[in-house]
Homo-oligomer: A and B are copies of this chain.
């Protein structure tokens, strides 16, 4: 499971990507538009700023705006900034590797290799999905069911 931080971040980026001419948006505007707790959103936007995804301006007419093209901002990257590892176990993580204490031999661990497959599949999907993709998705869904 991912944290709410990541979800809020993606929602905020979608909102910011929708700002005409990338005009700065107030934290409060973003919070209201996406129905997010304002004070919590503040720290999330700060994280995204530190990661050079966003930039901001203080004072009148200020606010947050994208520093990168929405097509370049990948969901994968956002998760890594707010949540950390993509992998389901730290020993399988590319960016946040940590050894398992109980593991006797990482190289022959069959669990690890299975988890690598899952990781790679996730990276493939999320690394190829940008904020632009999320904005541009056709808003029509024909069936209510979850696809299997």
Contacts and interface: CB of A to CB of B under 8 A. Distances in A.
The prevalent SS among residues of A at the interface is helix
A110 to B, nearest CB: 4
A60 interface: no
Interface string A93-134: 010000010111001101101101110111011100100011
A36 interface: yes
Contacts of A49: none
B125 A88 contact: no
Interface residues of A, number: 48
Contact of A144 (B8, B107, B111): B107
A75 interface: yes
A59 interface: no
Interface string A22-59: 00000000000011100000000000000000000000
Interface of A: 1-2, 7-8, 10-11, 14, 34-36, 75, 85, 87-90, 92, 94, 100, 102-104, 107-108, 110-111, 113-114, 116-118, 120-122, 124-126, 129, 133-135, 137, 139, 141, 144, 146-148
